[in-house]
Amino acid sequence: MAPVAIKDNIFNVGVVDWNIRDFHGYSTYKGTTYNAYLVMDDKITLFDTVKKPFKNDLLQNIAKITDPQKIDYLVVNHVEMDHSGSIPEVIEAVKPQKVFCSPMGKKALEAHFGSHAWPLEVVENGREISLGRRTVRFLETRMLHWPDSMFSYIPQDRLLISSDAFGQHWATSETFDDEVALTELLRHAAKYYANILLPYSPLVRKLLAAVGEMKLDIDMIAPDHGLIWRSRPEAILKAYDDWSLQKAERKALIIYDTMWHSTEKMAHAVASGLADEGVSYKLLHLKRNHRSDILTEVLDSKALIFGSPTLNNGMLPTMADILCYLKGLKPTGKIGSAFGSYGWSGEAVNDMVRWMEEMKIEIVEPPVRVQYVPNQDVLAQCAELGRRVGRAVKERTA
Ligand code: FEO
């Protein structure tokens, strides 16, 4: 990727990672980007770096704009390795006068890279520095999504460099939101929110409120992953407002796995009940849908109905995987139930219900279990479960 001018004398010098397919358990089936921003001012400043294997690409991109050794300042908005993995080599190549980071950023840099004679300068929330014609205001965004995270705001360019926030894992040859379809872009942003930021939704709300109170004049949001919001920054701000409220649609998910198709038959019967009530639903087979794609669906669903047969006195491992992942991401305001077949012991349904209760998912209908194979009576019970959950969805989303 060649550098792209995003404003006068401001360039994205980051890289596109077309081939990454797993990002610590998140399926990046369309790759990602590691954006880094070079501001050409009296003090030439680089905001963030890239994942370690892409260090040469970053330096080559910078060299197309200026000699990397002319960079005066490095800003570290976030210490996770996809943005800071190449920091030691970049500092060695650039020899910046100053490296700015948050208080927690200093601790994280030292924890990751040990002690160095780097010219670190800790910036508190709200601190401003001058680059010459421009100023940079640093905004701490602690726990969004790491303790060290911060934003950099350049008022003269109405530019918010937002680190991970408002990003998407999507590798494209395009740079800006207006160069792609908004629906697909928001879908990638929703997946990013559901899998990275969902547990911090209360902090997202506080941040959005604080940004509103500061009356920051923003006409571009430049995240460290994916497309830059040039034409429609309000679209992603509105989406974050909705997602952080965990607003649910009239929608239910049936998340299941099956051994010999008995639980699958039950899943389809539950779906028929939801259809009877006119509730939108999705059947998500755990061997056909990645956990991170399921979380994207969870984001705007009111009901979660889990189905697993019993294996070795417990649920199937795929069900344990999604419940463990879901619990960590702390969805709120969900309702649901469970179902499943068994041979002789039948613990899976109770185990799933226990996990749901721990997540404060309200069980609005008793679960259905069946030994071996569901007959028509059992399938009718499953359809009734679907209808009752469907009616509860309609009541709670009215
Ligand atoms: Fe893209 Fe939290 O790193």
How much distance in Å is there from the Cα of 271 to the middle of ligand 1? 37
Q: Nearest 5°: CA angle at 341, between 336 and 343? A: 150
How much distance in Å is there from the Cα of 201 to the middle of ligand 1? 17
Pick the atom of ligand 1 nearest to 149's CA.
Answer: 2
Domain ranges of the chain: 4-245, 253-391
Residue 308's identity, in one-letter code, is S
How much distance in Å is there from the Cα of 199 to the middle of ligand 1? 15
Cis peptide before 145 (omega within 30 of 0): yes
Backbone angles phi, psi at 10, to 5 degrees: -130, 130
Q: How many residues does the chain have?
A: 398
User: How would you write the pLDDT of the chain (398 residues) with one tens digit per residue?
Assistant: 799 999 999 999 999 999 999 999 999 999 999 999 999 999 999 999 999 999 999 999 999 999 999 999 999 999 999 999 999 999 999 999 999 999 999 999 999 999 899 999 999 999 999 999 999 999 999 999 999 999 999 999 999 999 999 999 999 999 999 999 999 999 999 999 999 999 999 999 999 999 889 999 999 999 999 999 999 999 999 999 999 999 999 999 999 999 999 999 999 999 999 999 999 999 999 999 999 999 999 999 999 999 999 999 999 999 999 999 999 999 999 999 999 999 999 999 999 999 999 999 999 999 999 999 999 999 999 999 999 999 999 999 99
CATH code, 253-391: 3.40.50.360
Which residues form ligand 1's pocket by a CB distance below 6 Å? 78, 80, 82-83, 145-146, 164, 224-225
| Catalytic residue IDs | 24, 78, 80, 82, 145, 164, 192, 225
Pick the atom of ligand 1 nearest to 146's CA.
Answer: 2
pLDDT in tens, 309-331: 999 999 999 999 999 999 999 99
Pick the atom of ligand 1 nearest to 224's CA.
Answer: 1
What is the per-residue pLDDT for 115?
87
pLDDT in tens, 251-308: 999 999 999 999 999 999 999 999 999 999 999 999 999 999 999 999 999 999 999 9
Pick the atom of ligand 1 nearest to 164's CA.
Answer: 1
Give start and end residues of each alpha helix (H) in the chain: 55-63, 81-84, 87-94, 103-113, 182-192, 201-214, 233-245, 262-276, 291-299, 317-329, 348-358, 376-396
Characterize 278-298 residue by residue with b for buried, 16 or more Cβ atoms within 10 angstroms of its Cβ, and e for exposed.
ebbbebbebeebebbbbbbbb
Q: Which residue's CA lies nearest to atom 2 of ligand 1?
A: 80
What is the per-residue pLDDT for 365?
96
Assigned fold of 4-245: Metallo-beta-lactamase; Chain A (3.60.15)
Q: Which residue's CA lies nearest to atom 1 of ligand 1?
A: 164
Contacts of 235-239 with CB under 8 Å at 24 or more apart are 235/177, 235/182, 235/186, 236/166, 236/177, 236/186, 236/189, 237/208, 239/186, 239/189, 239/190, 239/193
Q: Tell me, what DSSP letter sits at residue 31?
A: -
Q: Which residue's CA lies nearest to atom 3 of ligand 1?
A: 80
Are 331 and 246 within 8 A, CB to CB?
Answer: yes
Q: CA 189 to CA 164: how far, in whole Å?
A: 11
User: How is 212-239 classified by DSSP, letter by letter?
Assistant: HHHT---SEEE-SSS-BBSS-HHHHHHH
| Dihedral sign, Cα of residue 254, residue 205, residue 127, residue 177 | positive
Q: CA 291 to CA 322: how far, in whole Å?
A: 6
How much distance in Å is there from the Cα of 136 to the middle of ligand 1? 21
156 CB neighbour count, 10 Å cutoff? 13
How much distance in Å is there from the Cα of 193 to the middle of ligand 1? 12
pTM: predicted TM-score of the whole model, two decimal places = 0.96
